[in-house]
Each structure stands twice: as structure tokens, then as C-alpha cells.
């Protein structure tokens, strides 16, 4: 089988032939139809996440996978050969960008007929992170307001839609053609950060979701109401600065959760859009990963197997 692998931190990724996989106890083997790339894949390759997710090489990239079960190990119940599934593997396991992948059965979620495999592969990490940050960590609720940074990104595009569906007033930041995308996804106000300073236009929001970090994160505290919440998916917030502005702040460290994944899959089946920048074949995986690293993708980059 073919797999997209690296042989060390910072090494050039290559598509190469590897031995066939055999599912162990509690695992299924998935014939991969599509896999989604994430900023996490870029960080894992560089070694930025070694303290949290030390990799064993050679390492097959990718955590977001959709496809069809084609073999099962022992102690697997409730699933059958041929079932359409989507899942997120653990970052240290990876394995999504390959013709076949091993997935723990307790992480499997069924793919409804209304969703394509390409759409499904774009859901796990981005949609799961948005849902976890907004509703599990920040406790966002109907009638509140939220500022979503990078509204046309993978996480941001889902966050806008989830928040609007929950009855929240959404302000988003974006630039260029992404401004129109964020508006189409449902943002009430979109600020072009290249021409406007969000800190001068926004005040007293209940929740800020930051996926950018740096100066954007630093200037976000001041636009939150007293008692509001800042959720960052990039770097841990500054506790001293948060206390000075009388806001709560938390770093959202996304964790795989089949129940959460099932929830967001249901939302997609009901009409939430999986914003997709491009779908490319496995042979172009290296170029796709380079594009992911550029930060220019609008939504998800999907690899079609």
C-alpha cells in the first residue's frame, strides 16, 4: 500500500510503498477514500509538538480520515465490513494519508449518505476544535456575541456557522476574498484586518475565538466584556493580561472524541458547509502540505485516495 510518510522531523515527506496493515484487538482497517490536512500536520512534521506528541519514524501523516471498513480485529462490536466511517486518529499514530489506515473502533463515526467522503474528511479536527472551543470551553450560548478570528480558515469557517446556528451574533476577521466567504457563511459583521483594526470596531463581545496568536491574541483581551471569555487554539493566553481585563481565558487543546465528532457530523448532514479550498490526489500530497503550511488555505485541504 502507498503511504505519505516522513523519516524524521523536518524531513521531506514522500509517498512510498509500505507493508500492508493488520488490525489489532479493538481496531478496524479502513480503506481510505479521503483524508484532511490540518495545521497540526505541519507542526508535527517540524517537530514543534514533540513535547506533547513525540513521533516514531517512519511516520505516516494525517489524523482526519474517511473511508470504508475493510477488515476488523478482535473485540470490535457494532461495525461491519463495508460501513462508511469518519474518524480522527491520535496525533502520535497519524496514518490517515495512506491507502489504508488503522483506527480504534471507539473513535469511529458513521458517515451519513448525505455527506461525501471528501466532506467527511474535512470535519474531525477543524469542526471538532470549533465546537469544543465555543460550547464546551467558552460555554457560548444563544443571545451572546462572538468574535471569530480567521473566519475563512478551517476552524473559523465552522465556528461562524455553529455560532450562528446557536443564535449568536458573529463578528469575523478575514482579508481579501475571504471577507465575502465569511459573510456567506453567516457572519453578521466581517472586518478586513488588512484595512481595519478590529480592536477599534469591536467591544464588549462575550467570546473571542483566536486561531492566529501573536499580536491578534494580545489585542483581543480588550474587546471582551468583563466576565467574558477568550479561547485560543494556538498558544496559551496570558493569565496576567486576562486578569487585568477581567476576562477568563483558556488554551483549547483539541482532543479526539467520538461523541463530539458525531455531533458535528450531524450538523454537517443538516446543512453546515465544509468549506473546502481544494481536493488533490495522493500524488500531490507534498505540495498540498506545503500549501497548508503557507497559511493561505480558505477552509480545508482534502487528499483524495
> pLDDT per position in the chain (305 positions), as tens?
999 999 999 999 999 999 999 999 999 999 999 999 999 999 999 999 999 999 999 999 999 999 999 999 999 999 999 999 999 999 999 999 999 999 999 999 999 999 999 999 999 999 999 999 999 999 999 999 999 999 999 999 999 999 999 999 999 999 999 999 999 999 999 999 999 999 999 999 999 999 999 999 999 999 999 999 999 999 999 999 999 999 999 999 998 999 999 999 999 999 999 999 999 999 999 999 999 999 999 999 999 99
| Same domain? 12 vs 37 | yes
| Same domain? 130 vs 247 | yes
- The model carries a pTM of 0.97
Predicted local distance difference test score (pLDDT) of residue 21: 96
For residue 263, tell me if it sits in a domain: no
Counting the structural domains of the chain, the total is 2
| Same domain? 218 vs 169 | yes
Euclidean distance between CA atoms 256 and 220, whole angstroms: 27
For residue 256, tell me if it sits in a domain: no
For residue 208, tell me if it sits in a domain: yes
For residue 259, tell me if it sits in a domain: no
What range does the domain containing 160 cover?
Answer: 126-251
Give residue for cell 476576562. Answer: 247
Euclidean distance between CA atoms 134 and 156, whole angstroms: 11
For residue 266, tell me if it sits in a domain: no
For residue 89, tell me if it sits in a domain: yes
Euclidean distance between CA atoms 58 and 52, whole angstroms: 18
| Same domain? 228 vs 243 | yes
CATH of residue 57's domain is 3.90.180.10
Q: Any bridge partners for residue 36, and if so which?
A: 64, 302
| Same domain? 135 vs 104 | no
Q: How many CB atoms lie within 10 A of CB 143?
A: 9
Phi, psi angles (nearest 5°) of residue 279: -120, 125
For residue 268, tell me if it sits in a domain: no
| Same domain? 207 vs 283 | no
Q: How many CB atoms lie within 10 A of CB 137?
A: 19
Q: Any bridge partners for residue 303, and if so which?
A: 35, 280
CATH of residue 161's domain is 3.40.50.720
Cα atoms in the Cβ-side hemisphere of radius 13 Å centred on 217: 20
Q: Mind spelling out the 3-state secondary structure of 47-99? A: CCCCCCCCCCCCEECCCEEEEEEEEECCCCCCCCCCCEEEEECCCCCCCCCEC
Which strand ranges, in their side-by-side order, compose the sheet holding 248-251?
A: 189-192, 169-174, 145-148, 205-210, 224-232, 248-251
Which among 119, 109, 114, 145 has a CA at the least distance from the CA of 260? 109
Q: Output the nine-digit C-alpha cell for 188.
A: 453578521
| Same domain? 119 vs 137 | no
For residue 269, tell me if it sits in a domain: no
| Same domain? 93 vs 192 | no
Amino acid at each position: 500500500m502507498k503511504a505519505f510518510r516522513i523519516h524524521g522531523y523536518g524531513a521531506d515527506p514522500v509517498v512510498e510503498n509500505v507493508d500492508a496493515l493488520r488490525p489489532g484487538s479493538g481496531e478496524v482497517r479502513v480503506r481510505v477514500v479521503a483524508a484532511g490536512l490540518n495545521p497540526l500536520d505541519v507542526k508535527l512534521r517540524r517537530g514543534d509538538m514533540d513535547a506533547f506528541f513525540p513521533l516514531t519514524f517512519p511516520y505516516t501523516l494525517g489524523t482526519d480520515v474517511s473511508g470504508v471498513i475493510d477488515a476488523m480485529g478482535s473485540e470490535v462490536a457494532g461495525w461491519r465490513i463495508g460501513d462508511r466511517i469518519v474518524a480522527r486518529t491520535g496525533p502520535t499514530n497519524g496514518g490517515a494519508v495512506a491507502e489504508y489506515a488503522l483506527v480504534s473502533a471507539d473513535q469511529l463515526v458513521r458517515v451519513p449518505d448525505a455527506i461525501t467522503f471528501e466532506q467527511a474528511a474535512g470535519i474531525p479536527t477543524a469542526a471538532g476544535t470549533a465546537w469544543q472551543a465555543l460550547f464546551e470551553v467558552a460555554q457560548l450560548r444563544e443571545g451572546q456575541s462572538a468574535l471569530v478570528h480567521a473566519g475563512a480558515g478551517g476552524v473559523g469557517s465552522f465556528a461562524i456557522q455553529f455560532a450562528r446556528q446557536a443564535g449568536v451574533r458573529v463578528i469575523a476577521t478575514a482579508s481579501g476574498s475571504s471577507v465575502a466567504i465569511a459573510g456567506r457563511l453567516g457572519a453578521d459583521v466581517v472586518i478586513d484586518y488588512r484595512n481595519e483594526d478590529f480592536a477599534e470596531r469591536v467591544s464588549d463581545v462575550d467570546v473571542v475565538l483566536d486561531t492566529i496568536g501573536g499580536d491578534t491574541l494580545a489585542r483581543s483581551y480588550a474587546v471582551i466584556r468583563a466576565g467574558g471569555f477568550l479561547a485560543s487554539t494556538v498558544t496559551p493566553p496570558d493569565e496576567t493580561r486576562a486578569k487585568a481585563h477581567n476576562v477568563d481565558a483558556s488554551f483549547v487543546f483539541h482532543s479526539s472524541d467520538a461523541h463530539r465528532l458525531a455531533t458535528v457530523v450531524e450538523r454537517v448532514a443538516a446543512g453546515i458547509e465544509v468549506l473546502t479550498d481544494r481536493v488533490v490526489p495522493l500524488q500531490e500530497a507534498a505540495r498540498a502540505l506545503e500549501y497548508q503550511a503557507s497559511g493561505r488555505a480558505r477552509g480545508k485541504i482534502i487528499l483524495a485516495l
